[in-house]
Amino acid sequence: MGKVLVAAAGDELDHEAVREALALLGPDHEYVFLTVYQGVVPALMGDGGLAGSMPLADDAAFVELETSARESGEHRMQQMLEALGLKGTARAESGDPGERICSVAVDEGADLIVMGSHHTGALRRLLGGSVADDVAHHAPCPVLLTRHGASQK
């Protein structure tokens, strides 16, 4: 029995892709379901947002927003675990998705990372790559990428 880190956004496409991957693995593993969200402060400050245009709210408001985002993510991951009939840990992390997935894999001592790979066009891959590409190249363990419906082609 190994430890499997499942990285997902929690949407229906990820849910189905993860379901297909887990059908191959079976339930006899220790599972950690992870979602990564963009932190509240970077979301407000990035791309010309609030930076310099208006005073920012107090620290307590940001802490509350960040806590709410983390709890929402953990709740979505817990729902996925339950819907798949698995026992495990639900986590939500803030930051760059590829970086955080690899970091959590190290922290958790994961033996395998499972994640859905949304089909991206050649231009997007050329300009910025994808989270799946990033994780596949930097992960500390093997990575199983799957796409919903791929087994039906």
The pLDDT tens digits for 74-123 are: 999 999 899 888 889 999 999 899 999 999 999 999 999 998 876 555 54
Amino acid 128 reads G
**Is residue 2 pLDDT above 70, yes or no?**
yes
pTM for this prediction: 0.79
The pLDDT tens digits for 30-77 are: 999 999 987 665 445 544 444 444 445 556 777 788 888 899 999 999
Can you tell me which residue has the tokens 């029995």? 1
Tell me, what's the pLDDT at 121? 52
- What is the total count of domains within the chain? 1
d(CA 74, CA 77): 5
Tell me, what's the pLDDT at 152? 47
Element (H, E) at 114: strand 112-116
Structural domain that includes position 115: 3-152
Amino acid 70 reads R
Q: Phi and psi at residue 50, in whole multiples of 5°?
A: -80, -15
CA distances from 75 to 9, 34, 98 (A): 12, 11, 21
Question: What is the CATH number for 45?
Answer: 3.40.50.620
